[in-house]
């Protein structure tokens, strides 16, 4: 286990460097000049002298690799620069908006785990019956809708028509329900199908027949089947956590949720490149960390993987 974790940690830093380097290259391919953008958003008429001075102030006059190393070093210490629009530290802006995004993603993750497990088990033990077909059809139809369209439909039904919940801003617990449900529906079909197929697969494994031959209770056997069936789901769920956080961009703008995704969209409209770079850096870093944690949990749950690693 220690050897496996050491190998994964050694792969951690090259992945972070690759993702940050790729994101940095994408932002350098932009057509607009960040120095000119920084002047315009602060209502300063850009002249050649002012642009040259601003480029020197932002460090854009330095070679590409020096700028990348400087940005990566500052990013690892939390120094993402200053916003072009508000002139506030980017790190403070992200930390102010991050709790709302984590709250939304956490609520959506809770919905995904509970509903996927419930519907997956029902579909598995009622496989190929009308209950299985109707339940999966409803879930797949809802998951196939674009998230912004599903969010608008939920707003129209539960807020405009029924007046049950609030759908604008972060006010109370009720205002969290619809955004979290909308965000979770895009993942339900994947995990319901995954749990269902894994349970059906392990029902025919040799250890199940051996356990029944030993006279074990059916409840104990099914718990063992569930334990094996959820191992792959845990890994996939760990990789979905950063996707959930990054996927709040659309949902936060539909429901006016004051999170990092809404902050990033506003930065894109104002060409606020320091915020965009910080967002890409944090999302890539979070994806690698969550993937590592999911692999470690899977190794703990499955002793056979530890033996293969040895």
Domains and CATH numbers, the chain: 99-259 (1.10.3720.10)
pLDDT of residue 305: 56
Measuring CA to CA, how many Å separate 205 from each of 81, 159, 166, 199, 229?
56, 48, 49, 10, 11
- The residues near 56 (Cβ < 8 Å, ≥ 6 apart) are none
Q: Flag whether pLDDT at 4 surpasses 70.
A: no
Q: Flag whether pLDDT at 12 surpasses 70.
A: yes
Angle at 265 between CA 187 and CA 14, to 5 degrees: 70
pLDDT of residue 204: 80
Average predicted confidence (pLDDT) for the chain: 80
- Residue 184 banded pLDDT, cuts 50, 70, 90: confident
pLDDT of residue 168: 67
pLDDT of residue 160: 80
**246-259 pLDDT, tens per residue?**
778 888 888 888 88
Segment 36-48 shows an average pLDDT of: 74
Helix H, strand E, coil C: the string for the chain is: CHHHHHHHHHHHHHHHHHHHHHHHHHHHCCCCCHHHHHHHHCCCCCCHHHHHHHHHHHCCCCCHHHHHHHHHHHHHCCCCCECCCCCCEHHHHHHHHHHHHHHHHHHHHHHHHHHHHHHHHHHHHCCCCHHHHHHHHHHHHHHHCCHHHHHHHHHHHHHHHCCCCCCCCCCCCHHHHHHHHHHHHHHHHHHHHHHHHHHHHHCCCHHHHHHHHCCCCHHHHHHHHHHHHHHHHHHHHHHHHHHHHHCHHHHHHHCCCCCHHHHHHHHHHCCCHHHHHHHHHHHHHHHHHHHHHHHHHHHHHCHHHHHHHC
Residue 89 main-chain phi, psi, to 5 deg: -60, 135
Angle at 284 between CA 104 and CA 108, to 5 degrees: 20
Q: Flag whether pLDDT at 214 surpasses 60.
A: yes
pLDDT of residue 148: 81
Q: Flag whether pLDDT at 308 surpasses 60.
A: no
Q: Which of 77, 154, 108 is nearest to 246 (CA)?
A: 108
Segment 23-42 shows an average pLDDT of: 73
pLDDT of residue 146: 80
262 versus 64: the higher-pLDDT residue is 262
Q: Flag whether pLDDT at 306 surpasses 60.
A: no
Q: 128 with 197: CB under 8 angstroms?
A: no
What whole-number distance in Å separates Cα of residue 180 and Cα of residue 252? Answer: 10
- Residue 1 banded pLDDT, cuts 50, 70, 90: low
Q: 33 with 51: CB under 8 angstroms?
A: yes
**84-115 pLDDT, tens per residue?**
777 788 888 888 888 888 888 888 888 888 88
Percentage of residues of the chain with pLDDT beyond 70: 92
**228-245 pLDDT, tens per residue?**
777 777 777 777 777 788
| Tokens read off for 116 | 């996927």
Q: Flag whether pLDDT at 304 surpasses 70.
A: no
Q: Flag whether pLDDT at 310 surpasses 70.
A: no
Measuring CA to CA, how many Å separate 226 from each of 60, 121, 125, 142?
55, 9, 12, 26
pLDDT of residue 307: 55
pLDDT of residue 255: 85
pLDDT of residue 301: 64
Would you call 92 exposed, middle or buried from its count of C-beta atoms within 10 A (0-12, 13-18, 19+)? middle
**123-173 pLDDT, tens per residue?**
888 888 888 888 888 888 877 778 888 888 888 888 788 777 776 667 777
What whole-number distance in Å separates Cα of residue 250 and Cα of residue 82? Answer: 25
């Amino acid at each position: 286990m220690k050897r496996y974790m050491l190998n994964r940690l050694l792969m951690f830093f090259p992945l972070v460097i690759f993702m940050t380097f790729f994101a940095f290259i994408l932002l350098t391919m932009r057509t607009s000049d960040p120095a000119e953008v920084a002047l315009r958003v602060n209502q300063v008429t850009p002249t050649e002298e002012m642009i040259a001075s601003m480029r020197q102030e932002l460090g854009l006059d330095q070679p590409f690799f020096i700028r990348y190393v400087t940005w990566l070093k500052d990013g690892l210490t939390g120094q993402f620069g200053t916003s072009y629009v508000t002139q506030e530290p980017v790190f403070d802006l992200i930390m102010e908006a991050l709790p709302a995004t984590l709250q939304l993603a956490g609520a959506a993750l809770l919905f995904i785990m509970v509903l996927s497990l419930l519907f997956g088990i029902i579909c598995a033990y009622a496989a190929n019956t009308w209950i299985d077909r109707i339940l999966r059809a409803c879930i797949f139809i809802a998951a196939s809708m674009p998230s912004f369209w599903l969010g608008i439909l939920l707003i129209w039904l539960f807020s405009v028509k029924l007046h049950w919940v609030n759908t604008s801003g972060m006010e109370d617990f009720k205002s969290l329900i619809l955004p979290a449900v909308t965000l979770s529906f895009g993942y339900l079909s994947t995990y319901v199908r995954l749990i269902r197929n894994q349970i059906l697969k392990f029902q025919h494994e040799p250890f199940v027949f051996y356990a029944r031959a030993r006279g074990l209770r059916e409840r104990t056997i099914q718990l063992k089947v569930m334990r094996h069936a959820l191992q792959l789901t845990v890994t996939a769920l760990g990789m979905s956590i950063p996707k959930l956080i990054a996927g709040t961009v659309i949902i936060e703008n539909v429901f006016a949720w004051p999170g990092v995704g809404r902050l990033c969209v506003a930065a894109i409209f104002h060409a606020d490149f320091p915020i965009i770079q910080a967002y890409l850096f944090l999302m890539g870093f979070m994806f690698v960390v969550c993937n590592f944690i999911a692999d470690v949990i899977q190794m703990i749950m499955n002793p056979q993987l530890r033996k293969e690693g040895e």
